[in-house]
Chains A and B, each alone.
Chain A
Amino acid sequence: MRIGLLTEGGYPYVSGDARLWCDRLVRGLDQHEFDIYALSRSRRQEDEGWVTLPPQVSRVRTAPLWTVEDDGIAHGRRARRRFAEHYGELAAVLCAGPSEEASTAEADRFGSALYGLAELARDEGGLSGALRSETAVRALERACRTPGAPRAARAARVPDLLAVAGHLERALRPLTLDWYEDDGLGSVDLCHAASGGPAALPGLLARHFSGVPLLVTEYGVQLRTHHLSATEASPSVRALLAAFHGRLAAEVYARAAVITPGNAHARRWQERCGADRDKIRTVYPGMDATRFAEVGESPECADPDTLAWVGRVEPTKDLISLLHAFAEVRKEEPKTRLRIIGVPAGSEGAAYLGHCKALAAQLFPDEADGLHAVGDNPVSFEEIGGPDIPSPAEAYASGAVTVLSSVVEGFPISLVESMFCGRATVSTDVGAVVEVIGGTGLVVPPRNPRALAEACVALLRDPERRARLGAAARARALELFTVEQNITAFHSIYLEIVSRHPVRRVVLDDTTGEPRPFAVPAEAHMPGRWTGPAARVVARGGPGWAAGPPVRANTPLPATEAAR
């Protein structure tokens, strides 16, 4: 199969988001060909270059989203009228307000306006001038002044309209790209968007123009990120842009063949934005388990009296709470030690770390074994990379119990790593913690040091239970959060999508001219690479032995059943 991987500010750029995941995916699925279509986010990102690409990447096409460019294309009268019509429609949808009963009709209008603009761009060339033109601004103004528009939109002033037009121009820039021809996205069997929003827009258009199925993977919901990041602009601008991004997300979810959120939190957002439940398959992010194999298989190396906390030090991790909890633990189990292992994140994190150290020194005086020994503090602050903790695995190995005390958490990586290491865990009930830990660790409410302390004491006093929980946690992590799991899940989702979509390129028999069924296998295993552009045609129309049976088809999706 040929997969069109769509990214925005991500793979293959060195500084891209999710590049690690994309890289593992592309390397893991070497029986498929990958075409990468990347939108870059800034000049700095472009200057930093690409990561090394594996041979299964047959082409990379990039386009900037950050340039201020004027293509100087002036449209004719008819094209201008078409543009005004479609853009007016788009603006009207953005100002329609969130009325529930008319939402399907509005979604249709949004889609038709979007595809209308895309067709115009395909027929007449660049839209960037038109999208910034007076026609566009006028259309926005008219839509904002319509009775029934939301109050924030009605209050839009001229600078707001200009800002919205400028933002829409950038957001709609994928419309003017020349990616949708038959030698571009038209030739791939499946579009895989590595994030929602702008990255999925080319996939939408490829689906519209050539009927290519679209798979959308979101580890962080793009719409949520937009809401969190767009805080400076005026209310009118934010209202219109929120409407645009909301509609775009709904359109992407509606048109995608399959949507794969990274956890239940992303899944809830997607369902909330209109994604169909049947299309959603949760695919947990994969992590490299081999680093932790040694530690995970030797649980006896842990110091039975040590609690470990591993992560980036920042205020949301609530180390203060952890220290208070540790004070409680010390009342019950005076021999216990706490190792806080991690580097501060930014200046705020550094200040927070300093504060925590001060508090630790205040709460716990230095202790020594006897009158003639040099003492030290039961709470130690360390960093990974030092002599006794060369790698994260040793960090987890040093403690019998791993503690997570965050008040805000996304997908808790340190928890998963600790599960890989087979350590019993006590975590606060935030973010995706419950989803990740399942029944294999203790969970307490956030900001409750006493509850945290009690759970820790319970585990410290019961080595058997600790071992049981650790083993279960390791088994669960190996089942759900490995790289292999991630790749297998995507592999079977690819096959599932392709099996449900008609074959788009038919190979004709040379002698009879009849279409040959099964001439293009979804995947083929051959010794060595045969996917050069010239060899490709031969292989596809070639002998039957080239079409090896799909080895890993019909694997049940472990991710789906794991999602709550």
Chain B
Amino acid sequence: MSELDDLGGVGDLGELDRPGTPGSPGAWDARSEEWLTSEPGRPAARTPAVDEASPADKPAPAAAHRTTTATPPRTTPRRSQGTPTPRRTAADPVKALMHRHRELCERAVDPLEIAAGLEAHGVTDRTATRFRHRDVFSLAEEMYARASRDGDSPAPAAPPEPPRTRADWALLTLLPGALSAATLTGIHFTDGRPRLITAAVGTLAVALALRAALTRGPLSTTHPTHPRTRTLTCWLIAYALLGDGLLRQAITGGPDTLPTGTTDATWPTAGAPALALALSLAPAAWTAHLLTTRARRKLTASRGLEDFAAAVHPLLLGAFALYLSTLAALLALTATALDEPAPYAQTMTLGALLYLSRLLTTHGFTHAPALVLTVTATAQATALATTFASRLPGCDALGTPVTTLVDTWGPGAVPTLACGVGAATLLLHATRRLTRASAHATTDLQW
């Protein structure tokens, strides 16, 4: 019969039988004695806070301190033989009651809360009549009105436990970089069919590692990601590897051969940017982690939504800048190591684009990243397609814009432009969306 049990007995009842200390010195004067003796026929039910137990009594569990001798006589004939300890009652019984339930009174935000708390401590309507009230509700209202909530400035909530830096995601974010490096080394030292196999296996391994790294830690997301996003990301990285070479070949009439995986082939592969991007997953995760923890701290500290937005704005830009500078350093390093030219412009813009899109996805904004990635990838694909299409008879004009662009700034101009515009759009979007408090709400709130 669990349905019947929920009326009483809820709440902490430890307070119920604790030895009460006098509520206030004023309650123990002659007036209270007088009041008591003027009503000799009162039922012997105790008034709170005037328990006969002295404060020196040890706080025995439950009601152990009470003894029958202290219980007053109920009927007149017994009064002579019982121990005539008169019950002392406070002049202001409600005050004593409030003292006893002071925590409840200070905490309450509603008279009904006090009423519920009192009832859980055994106060009934019949008890309330002793406090000259018709029912518990009106008693609770008086207590609510009289409770001093002056010192009620809510203590600033303790900042939430920052998400623990755990070894699992920290290690996982290093994995794609390590695997990429291994793959590139493998490609460097092999030739022919083994090189092809190494490249295929390496790509697969890096993709799996990337996937694993993104399911955990600060870059993971509980929101359903857009189905396109993954494909588009793969395309963008593939373009960074092979796109520039292909475009150059397309303009000069090629490609005549397949890429060999080296920079000095006719269709060169840019290993350094891909390796730098893979390695930059670790700083990306760390900066995202930094952003999350700092934003949570700001969240507890700020009074209003505007304050919070103002405080998070520099944080977001700082994290972004930190990531970009780490990426630049990594690119310089990998370019030196692989002895390749460092295509800063297109790598930095691509890194920025991917970083921002992941950051937005992590915070639940999946629509804009998917859209921007689609536009960027389409722009790159269009550049290639128009170049090839210009070879068709009568379609020369189609290739002119790309050819002009490549002639002026080199083949890297196409991805730089596409990713740059995309990254700028996402940065603008992120400064508006990620500075909102709702983006940083923890969803683990329990009912």
B38 within 8 A of A: no
Contacts A151-B152, A316-B122, A324-B67 supplied; 12 other A-B pairs, CB < 8 Å: A21-B3, A65-B447, A134-B436, A150-B109, A151-B149, A352-B61, A408-B9, A413-B4, A445-B43, A446-B45, A450-B44, A454-B74
B137 within 8 A of A: yes
Nearest to B60 among chain A residues (CB) is A355
A355 touches B62 (CB 8 A): yes
B64 within 8 A of A: yes
Report if A223-B364 is in contact (Cβ < 8 Å); known contacts: A158-B302, A159-B299, A161-B437.
no
B299 touches A410 (CB 8 A): no
B residues whose Cβ falls under 8 Å from a Cβ of A: 1-11, 13-14, 16-17, 43-46, 61-64, 66-68, 71, 73-75, 78, 82, 107, 109-110, 112-113, 115-117, 119-122, 124-126, 135, 137, 149, 152-154, 156-157, 222-224, 299-300, 302-305, 307-308, 364, 366-367, 436-439, 441-445, 447
B17 touches A432 (CB 8 A): no
Can you report 24 residue pairs joining A to B where beta carbons are below 8 Å apart?
A68-B222, A68-B444, A70-B222, A134-B436, A137-B437, A155-B153, A158-B304, A158-B308, A161-B437, A220-B7, A224-B119, A227-B110, A242-B109, A242-B113, A268-B137, A285-B3, A316-B8, A320-B66, A359-B64, A410-B7, A413-B4, A448-B71, A448-B74, A451-B74
Report if A158-B303 is in contact (Cβ < 8 Å); known contacts: A239-B109, A316-B13, A318-B63.
yes
The A165-180 residues at the B interface (CB cut-off 8 A) are: 165-167, 170
B8 touches A410 (CB 8 A): yes
Q: For the complex, give the distance between the alpha carbons of A263 and B157 in Å.
A: 40
**Of residues A141, A287, A409, A450, which shows the largest number of chain B Cβ atoms within 10 Å of its Cβ?**
A450
A74 touches B443 (CB 8 A): no
Chain A residues, Cβ within 8 Å of B299: 158-159, 162
Interface string of A409-433 (1 = CB under 8 A from B): 1110100000000000000011110
The A260-309 residues at the B interface (CB cut-off 8 A) are: 262-263, 265-266, 268, 272-273, 285, 287
Chain B residues, Cβ within 8 Å of A145: 304
A133 within 8 A of B: yes
Interface string of A424-463 (1 = CB under 8 A from B): 0000011110000000000001111111001000000000
Chain B residues, Cβ within 8 Å of A547: none
A136 touches B223 (CB 8 A): no
Q: For the complex, give the distance between the alpha carbons of A170 and B441 in Å.
A: 14
A490 within 8 A of B: no
A328 touches B68 (CB 8 A): yes
A449 touches B62 (CB 8 A): no
Report if A411-B302 is in contact (Cβ < 8 Å); known contacts: A152-B109, A165-B438, A315-B13.
no
Chain B residues, Cβ within 8 Å of A75: none
A20 within 8 A of B: yes
- Chain A min CB distance to B40 (Å): 16
Report if A162-B124 is in contact (Cβ < 8 Å); known contacts: A219-B4, A411-B4, A449-B68.
no
Chain A residues, Cβ within 8 Å of B68: 324, 327-328, 449-450
Set B8, B82, B110, B441: member contacting A166, Cβ < 8 A = B441
* Residues of A in contact, count (CB < 8 Å): 92
Report if A20-B67 is in contact (Cβ < 8 Å); known contacts: A72-B223, A223-B112, A352-B61.
no
Set A158, A243, A320: member contacting B305, Cβ < 8 A = A158
A18 within 8 A of B: yes
- Chain A min CB distance to B19 (Å): 14
Chain B residues, Cβ within 8 Å of A102: none
Nearest to A454 among chain B residues (CB) is B74
A52 within 8 A of B: no
A321 within 8 A of B: yes
Chain A residues, Cβ within 8 Å of B444: 68
A202 within 8 A of B: no
B10 touches A314 (CB 8 A): no
B110 touches A246 (CB 8 A): yes
Chain A residues, Cβ within 8 Å of B121: 408
- Chain B min CB distance to A527 (Å): 33
Chain A residues, Cβ within 8 Å of B115: 227
Q: For the complex, give the distance between the alpha carbons of A129 and B174 in Å.
A: 34
Q: For the complex, give the distance between the alpha carbons of A514 and B305 in Å.
A: 62
One of A228-236, A532-540, A550-558 at the interface: A228-236
- Chain A min CB distance to B435 (Å): 10
A474 within 8 A of B: no
A138 within 8 A of B: yes
Q: For the complex, give the distance between the alpha carbons of A134 and B307 in Å.
A: 14
